Amino acid sequence: MRNIRIAWRLFLIAIHVAVGLVITTTLLRHGDTKPPGDRERTVVSWWMRCVARILGLHIKVLGTPPEHPVLAVSNHISWLDIPVLASIFPVSFVSKAEIRDWPALGMLTARAGTLFIQRGGKNAANQAMEQIAFRLRRGHSIAVFPEGTITDGHSVRRFHPRLFGAAVYANAYIQPVAIRYPHAHGVHPAVPFVDAEPFFKHAIRVLSEKRINVEVTLCRKLASQSVDRRTLAKQAFEAIRQSVERRPESLSQTQRQL
């Protein structure tokens, strides 16, 4: 049964990627030269929701998705976090520049509105902040993972404050997002993408799971006006840490199932 499930999901993913390539050459054909509009962002969100379903992700959302552009900041456990976040509300991501040159995936991510950042450069962080601020001013939500690394999901690491400056410059709200993959053992063992594990090996393990529960808490938004980026980083970190470490039954926010 396990091998049949893996094979079936690989088949569905292949078809869905093919659909994505058709979409990028039609509806999203200008996505790598200008930010996507409302229609394009809606299409990308639909595509990501389908990815989540194919992977067997059952997403429970606690809180209300933002109606206005935000800088979404989240803890980071796995590459699964990306389809999870994109399934909840239209959001673009920040990625390393090398992915832009990857076959198929590079075009898909570029035309979906991904911001590609050249890491390691002398002024890379400032350039990233400026690009994010520009998108926020244009009315687009951007998601970042301020831990700067992937964790095992049991705790949250300190947030790097630099990219929070983009929200300050754009006078935009910050939406802290806490992601959990609840399991009898705390965190679903198939989910954390850690210890330099090869992507394909990890993906096969995910595909073999019948169901993976995801709990996403949309914490109270933070206003960036008159607040420095370090304070914003600490406030977002604390909100997410409390949600990640809190017992599920103690949560009393509005819930909806995706």
DSSP string, 27-86: TTTTTTTS---HHHHHHHHHHHHHHHHHTTEEEEEES---SS-EEEEE----TTHHHHHH
* Continuous segment of H or E residues that includes residue 244: helix 229-245
For residue 96, tell me if it sits in a domain: yes
Terminal alpha carbon distance of the chain: 26
Q: Does 79 map to a domain? A: yes
Q: Which helix (H) or strand (E) element contains residue 213? A: strand 212-218
Burial 39-56 (b: 16+ CB within 10 A, else e): ebbebbbebbbbbbbbbb
Q: For the chain, how many structural domains are there in total?
A: 1
Cβ atoms of 154 and 187 closer than 8 Å: yes
Whether this prediction's pTM lies above 0.85 is answered by yes
From first to last of its 258 residues, the chain has per-residue pLDDT tens of: 899 999 999 999 999 989 888 887 887 755 555 666 777 788 888 999 999 999 999 999 999 999 889 999 999 999 999 999 999 999 999 887 778 777 777 777 777 788 888 776 657 678 888 889 999 998 889 999 999 899 999 999 999 999 999 999 999 999 999 999 999 888 999 999 988 889 999 999 999 999 999 999 999 999 998 889 999 999 999 999 999 987 554 444 445 556
Task: Decide if 33 is inside a domain.
Answer: yes
> Which DSSP letter does residue 222 get?
B
Assigned domain for 63 exists = yes
How many Cβ atoms are within 10 Å of 182's Cβ, its own excluded? 16
Please report where in the chains the tokens 């962002």 appear, as a residue: 41
Residue 87 maps to a domain: yes
The burial class, CB within 10 Å (0-12 / 13-18 / 19+), for 226 is exposed
Domain annotation covers residue 19: yes
**pLDDT score for 30:** 55
In a domain, 257, yes or no: no
Residue 245 lies in a domain: yes
State the residue range of the domain holding 133: 2-249
